Amino acid sequence: MSTTIFLIVLIAVNVIVSFKGFEDYSFIRKYQFHIGSIQKGEQIRMVTSGFLHADIPHLAFNMLSLYFFAPVVSGALGNYSFLLIYFASLVFGSMLTLIIHKKDYNYSAIGASGAVTGIIYSAILLDPSLQIFLFFIPIPIPAYLFGIGYLLYSIYGMKAKNDNIGHTAHFGGAIGGYLFSILIHPEILQYNTFMVVILTIPIAIMAVMAKQGKL
């Protein structure tokens, strides 16, 4: 399967499942990430929640981010390594969320953000020169600034707790994408040492804040 078809299929699954949730809230309640339900044995939610989204803007942002960054990963490592990083990031995101919110029985979240953040981190590690355009900025910006900013915004979302988006999963996803990219392609440590170091900054900030009970 070509990279383009491979990516379109993954995006299509996200869109179909998400639109099902838009039309049927009971569907979301059944498959969303929910601490209490997972602690009772419904671990499947740690994966299914990654294919649900809160609304069309949430879905569009994640899928556009995936569309722009995924080809870098699949082009460098192949489709199956891309898929491994995607799902590893999704699971890492759910695992970190479970750890941080384990005492909040009613905590729930949805979104592919963890998996997408892992792909973003992987793409940046693989191509340090990567640049992107944002709708409100008419000039290209370094992708690593976008990745770091994305996680810093997630810290705000974790503190605000005013939506149903899995902001904590962003960090778990970033960790998953970071680790698995290095495991699959360890040469990154040699040719992209600066980016390997700088991408740990927002993860370290989150870890310190979590330890201090500020999240």
Beta bridge partners of 142: 131
Judge residue 161's burial from the number of C-beta atoms within 10 Å of its C-beta, 0-12 exposed, 13-18 middle, 19 or more buried. exposed
| Residues 172 and 50: beta-carbon distance below 8 Å | no
Question: Does 12 score more than 90 pLDDT?
Answer: yes
pLDDT in tens, 103-160: 889 999 899 989 999 999 999 999 988 888 766 667 788 888 888 888 888 888 777 7
Q: What's the confidence (pLDDT) of residue 3?
A: 67
pLDDT of residue 150: 80
Which of 214, 196, 207, 172 lies closest to 87, judged by CA? 172
Helix axes 56-77, 113-126, angle to 10 degrees: 40
What does pTM read for this prediction? 0.90
d(CA 48, CA 168): 16
Extended beta strands in 98-197, E state: 108-109, 131-134, 137-142
With 90 as the cut, is the pLDDT of residue 48 above it? yes
pLDDT at 177 over 70: yes
Query: Whose structure tokens read 């993860």?
Result: 203
Residues pairing with 109 in the sheet: 33
Average pLDDT of the chain is 89
How confident is the model over 70-90, as pLDDT tens digits?
999 999 999 999 999 999 999
Q: Could you tell me the pLDDT band of residue 166, with boundaries at 50, 70 and 90?
A: low
Give the pLDDT confidence score for residue 4 in this predicted structure. 80
Determine the pLDDT at residue 1. Answer: 58
Q: What six digits make up the tokens of 82?
A: 């891309």
Report the sign of the C-alpha dihedral through residues 117, 121, 127, 129, in that order.
Answer: positive
